[in-house]
Amino acid sequence: MNNAAVGRLVTEMMDVLDTLSRFPTMGKERPEYRRETRSFSVGNYTILYTPLADGVEVRRIRHQHRNPPSR
């Protein structure tokens, strides 16, 4: 991935994280990982996060072609 593509991906991720911090329930519920965990996809990446009273806590960002993390 070239520098310009990385920059676009980082910008898109930051925009999505900003939106998730304001609307934390818009992601898909993912109780198979941990109670309260949700996910949201950005390109080929999945953000796993937990909603908080004042935003979200990012648990992991992983490429979708990788094996799911163990519980």
Residue-wise pLDDT tens digits, 6-27:
999 999 999 999 999 999 999 9
Ramachandran class of 43: left when φ > 0, alpha when ψ lies in -120 to 50, beta otherwise: left
**26-43 pLDDT per residue, tens:** 999 999 988 899 999 999
Q: 49, 45, 44, 69: which is closest to 59 by C-alpha? A: 49
Q: Hey, what are 1's tokens? A: 């991935």
pTM (predicted TM-score): 0.83
* pLDDT of the residue at 68: 63
* pLDDT of the residue at 64: 84
pLDDT score of 54 more than 80: yes
pLDDT score of 60 more than 70: yes
Residue with tokens 């070239």: 2
Amino acid at 53: A
Are the CB atoms for 38 and 58 separated by under 8 Å?
no
